[in-house]
Amino acid sequence: MTPGTFTREDSSALGGPPWMSTRRANALDRLETLVPPTADGSEVWRYSPVDRFDVGAYRPSAPARGEEGEAAAQALGAEFGTGIVVVVRNGRVVEVSRAGVPGAVVLGAASSLAERPAALGSVVGDDFFVALNDGFAPDAVVVEVPERCVVEEPIVVVHWCETGAPDGPAPASFPRTLVQLGEDAEVKVVEVLAGPDAGRALVVPVGELVVGDRARLSYVLVQDLGMGAWSIGRLAATVGRDAKLRSFTAGLGADYDRCRVDVAALGDGSSTQITSVYLGSGDQVHDVRTLQDHAAPRSLSNLLCKGAVAERSRSIYSGLIKVRNGAVRSDAMQTNHNLVLDPTAHADSVPNLDIEENDVRCSHASSVGPVGEDQRYYLESRGLSPERAERLIVLGFFDDVVERSPIASATAPLRRRIGQRLEGLLGRGGER
């Protein structure tokens, strides 16, 4: 079905080089047959509030206006990095500061690639939201690092997504990113999704990471949208022979925050570290889905996902380790821990294994519950009040995971945001 608020006219008006128009037209054709998913339709949407999703409540965002967003985006770029910044507003690349980036690196708008198409869609699978992004993303951010090229400083991509007033369709933004590393290349990329605190919006980010043989990619995605946004994101990666991917995703903002991370270990000896963190309050829903797909021998993946839910918020973690036939001596680990800070909050944790090979090592662990009684007792036995003990334990719970951020410049901003959110949720009226 093509939703009435997302028309072919809207799509074709986005312009760009012919290869982009062709891609969009193709996506509109796919949308004719795709429908928004339902929570009981498949495992990957189970427990999600997607049944509440009304595509007609949104329309494609217009080019961003106002200097407020521009200043905020610049500030985020400076906060999370050291100077290399790409600013994207409502899906349009508006600024690229590339001082310090080797000339051979392609960094910027896909629409500036007139002669050849960017390899968009080569990694991510298809579904209604990917097709919507394909059809209505005005542009894409492309980071292409050629073989043996190393970019030392982190590249920060800030996606500023505007919101709309309560009445009428709210703006929908379609951030799109492709990071492609040639053989033995190295780069660090931070993406920040942000927008105004107030108002509604739909944000459908799609990121694709192609890590070539022996290449090294560190990747951080921080979703810090306003609490009226629905963010339905997909991140997909392929990791080549002896290559290393370290990804870190943080879900902080949004009313509904979904982040699906699919990593395919395609190369012999590849190594992947996947980290995910979320913090829910109010009526937020955080929804993390992961796939560790081992298709090559001796591939390693290590996933740690930790989150806390407070007040009436909810979280879903569902992850699958898949080891395909032939991926001998693969080593996959999956850990999900959830802190439930209030009795009205709820967390679901669903780890899964699908192993087709014998000679492998796979493990998973998951937990859901309040702050551990033993930990609390231990700190209280040192004279800390229950409020102070809980605060330290919860901050520590997050510190333990934030420390895994593979990009140093993102660690302090992440810690700051989580700390600020927790200050409001913990130790309310507590005695020191």
Partner 1 sequence: MTAGRTDTLRVSGLRAEAGGVEILHGVDLEVAPGEVHVVMGPNGSGKSTLAHALMGRPGTTVTGGTISVGELDVTGLPSWRRARAGLFLALQHPIEVPGVRVRDVLREAVEASSRSAEISGTIDEEAAAIGFDRRLIDRAMNVDLSGGERKRNEIMQLGVIRPRFAVLDEIDSGLDVDALRAVARRVERATTEWGLGVLAVTHFRRLLEELRADRVHVMVGGRIVAHGGPELAEELDTTGYGAYATPA
Tokens of 373: 């009684």
Q: Tokens 């021998």 correspond to what residue?
A: 297
Site for partner 1 in 268-327 (CB under 8 A): none
Which stretch in 10-18, 31-39, 118-126, 384-392 sits in contact with partner 1 by CB under 8 A? 384-392
Quick one: which of 41, 125, 396, 430 contacts partner 1 (CB under 8 A)? Answer: 396
Q: Strands 141-145 and 106-109, how do they pair?
A: antiparallel
- Minimum distance from CB of 381 to partner 1 (Å)? 5
- Minimum distance from CB of 58 to partner 1 (Å)? 39
| Cα(11)–Cα(247) distance, integer angstroms | 32
The secondary structure element, H or E, covering residue 291 is strand 285-294
Say if residues 339 and 393 touch (Cβ distance below 8 Å).
no
Residue among 70 and 380 whose Cβ is closer to partner 1: 380
- Residue from 384, 365, 372 nearest 340 by CA: 372
Tokens of 20: 């982009």
Query: Residue 222 is which amino acid?
Result: V
Quick one: which of 3, 17, 83, 386 contacts partner 1 (CB under 8 A)? Answer: 386
Site for partner 1 in 364-383 (CB under 8 A): 373-375, 377-383
- Minimum distance from CB of 60 to partner 1 (Å)? 42
Residue among 244 and 388 whose Cβ is closer to partner 1: 388
Residue 302 region, left (φ>0) first, then alpha (ψ -120 to 50), else beta?
beta
Applying CB under 8 A, does 397 fall inside the site for partner 1? yes
Residue among 279 and 285 whose Cβ is closer to partner 1: 279
Residue among 326 and 396 whose Cβ is closer to partner 1: 396
- Minimum distance from CB of 51 to partner 1 (Å)? 36
Residue among 144 and 390 whose Cβ is closer to partner 1: 390
Q: Strands 92-97 and 84-89, how do they pair?
A: antiparallel
Quick one: which of 283, 356, 400, 423 contacts partner 1 (CB under 8 A)? Answer: 400
Quick one: which of 220, 392, 410, 418 contacts partner 1 (CB under 8 A)? Answer: 392
- Minimum distance from CB of 397 to partner 1 (Å)? 6
Tokens of 112: 């500036």
Report the interhelical angle of 386-402 vs 373-380 (nearest 10°).
Answer: 120
**CB proximity list for 161: less than 8 A, separation 6 or greater:** 61, 90, 91, 171, 173, 175, 193, 194, 195, 201, 203, 225, 229
Applying CB under 8 A, does 385 fall inside the site for partner 1? yes
Residue among 26 and 385 whose Cβ is closer to partner 1: 385
CA angle 284, 263, 78 (to 5 degrees): 60
- Minimum distance from CB of 197 to partner 1 (Å)? 28
Residue among 270 and 336 whose Cβ is closer to partner 1: 336
Report the interhelical angle of 67-80 vs 408-425 (nearest 10°).
Answer: 110
Residue among 216 and 391 whose Cβ is closer to partner 1: 391
- Minimum distance from CB of 388 to partner 1 (Å)? 6
- Minimum distance from CB of 421 to partner 1 (Å)? 16
Query: Residue 217 is which amino acid?
Result: L
Residue among 74 and 385 whose Cβ is closer to partner 1: 385
| Cα(28)–Cα(258) distance, integer angstroms | 23
Quick one: which of 389, 410, 414, 426 contacts partner 1 (CB under 8 A)? Answer: 389
Quick one: which of 10, 183, 311, 399 contacts partner 1 (CB under 8 A)? Answer: 399
Number of residues that bind partner 1 (CB under 8 A): 26
Residue among 34 and 395 whose Cβ is closer to partner 1: 395
Quick one: which of 44, 353, 368, 384 contacts partner 1 (CB under 8 A)? Answer: 384
| Cα(346)–Cα(86) distance, integer angstroms | 37
Residue among 428 and 432 whose Cβ is closer to partner 1: 432
DSSP H helices, 275-407, are 373-380, 386-402
If you ran DSSP here, which 8-state letter would residue 91 be given?
T
Other C-beta atoms lying within 10 Å of the C-beta of residue 239 = 31
- Residue from 293, 307, 296 nearest 335 by CA: 307
Applying CB under 8 A, does 419 fall inside the site for partner 1? no
Residues that bind partner 1 (CB under 8 A): 373-375, 377-386, 388-389, 392-393, 395-401, 403, 432
